[in-house]
Amino acid sequence: MSYAQTVIDQPVRSFSSRHSGWLHLCNGLDPVRDGGMVPSILGMTGALSRLGGDVTIVMPTPSRLDSLPVETLLTLKGPDTDLEAAVRAAEVVHLHGLWQGHTRRGARAARSARVPYLMAAHGMAEPWALRHKRWKKSFYLALVESRNLRQAACLHALSRPEIGHLRRFAPWTPICFVPNGVDPSFFDDLPARALLEQEHPELKGKFVLLFFGRVHVKKGLDLLAEALGRVGPGFPDLHLLVAGKDDGAWKPFAERIETLGLSERVTYVGHVGGERARQVWAAADAFILPSYSEGFSMAILEALACSLPCLITTACHFPELADAQGAVVVNPEAGEVAQGLRGLLERTDDERRRLGQNGRRLVENQYTWDQQAHRLASVYKWLAGGGARPECVIP
């Protein structure tokens, strides 16, 4: 998939008057506000449209987009959309996220119109995520979300552990296992590393460890700081590059890094998208995501598509990557993250290269968007009355 590099500055309204057989409803598609869900939704819906699906995305919140898939026929509709009418016109409705008004309205409209709907939690049913604002979520679950989940025609899990997380709320609802994907070709022929080095000369000649994602407490920035404190002195060429929106965790992270005397070995570039993101990926020698909680990280898939050696935690819910020897996988604990990072740095260049090649091979064979779209399209057709239950659906 190729991407337009222009930015849509105005709130998204209607790009077309046609309705969709497959209607996706999300809070918004602003990558700064809505995070990793944005490339997840755009990647999947773009691939579905390339299969010939009539796909519409409705979002109640105005959104500023970094980029759009340009080889697709997606219809985007914004806050002025008559949601109930859009649901009535749909063959299947796919709701993204939990704990928000758009899922309440969408599920209610789908039940009223007798249109089958799926719900994708995107990691929001994960135990760590449930403990965040626990009482509000418990109240909303009892009042609204439990019914939405139990009466869905199908739930959508992005990882195998998420199947169990969703089962707790809806024991009898079918669950389809369709992970996120990536377009590996988008990460071929990356720009010259020197482009980012010209802007940040502190990166020249360094082993650049990239953290790419929201700078949020759940991403394990505290674990990363402690790991750098333990490992950094032994590897003077190690330099951390952080790319992502500050979601409240940058200040404590930066303060801890300063206490450790490592401030000059950390570069923060903020949120990046489009060609700027490709420049950041091109500057990296390895990737790290020491998360406490993930749905199914788009950043990991993108790092693998770049053939980068990766260090992730078990909370990233990607055991298939460890099985493929495509990453170092540790528990989300400071000591283990430090040990994993030290081990990654102590490997030879050839060993790290093989790790990256294994990861790239895995995404090419099992995690392209087109592969995932075929699976999800089979679920939609089944829900609309078109044949036997697909293999990716767990009853």
Please give the pLDDT value at position 11. 35
pTM of the predicted protein model = 0.88
What pLDDT band is residue 347 in, cutting at 50, 70 and 90?
A: very high
What pLDDT band is residue 226 in, cutting at 50, 70 and 90?
A: very high
Which pLDDT tens digit goes with each residue over 10-27?
Answer: 333 333 333 348 999 998
Please give the pLDDT value at position 6. 27
What pLDDT band is residue 38 in, cutting at 50, 70 and 90?
A: confident
Instruction: Read off the pLDDT of each residue in 336-350 and give the average, rounded to a whole number.
Output: 98
Same domain? For 147 and 251 the reply is: no
Contact of 62 with 325, CB cutoff 8 Å: no
Total domains present in the chain: 2
Q: Is residue 13 part of a domain?
A: no
Same domain? For 251 and 313 the reply is: yes
What pLDDT band is residue 134 in, cutting at 50, 70 and 90?
A: confident
Same domain? For 93 and 191 the reply is: no
Q: Which domain holds residue 312?
A: 184-366
Instruction: Read off the pLDDT of each residue in 303-327 and give the average, rounded to a whole number.
Output: 96
Measured CA to CA in angstroms, residue 307 lies from 119, 265, 377 at distances of: 32, 24, 29
Same domain? For 350 and 292 the reply is: yes
Same domain? For 207 and 256 the reply is: yes
CA–CA gap between residue 245 and residue 49 (Å, rounded): 29
Same domain? For 362 and 378 the reply is: no
pLDDT at 173 over 70: yes
Q: Which two tokens stand for residue 176?
A: 């389809």
Instruction: Read off the pLDDT of each residue in 193-222 and give the average, rounded to a whole number.
Output: 96
What pLDDT band is residue 36 in, cutting at 50, 70 and 90?
A: confident
Q: Is residue 146 part of a domain?
A: yes
Same domain? For 176 and 232 the reply is: no
For the domain that residue 273 is a member of, what is the CATH number?
A: 3.40.50.2000
Same domain? For 144 and 239 the reply is: no
Same domain? For 196 and 340 the reply is: yes
Higher-confidence residue: 13 or 54? 54
Same domain? For 134 and 233 the reply is: no
Same domain? For 157 and 215 the reply is: no
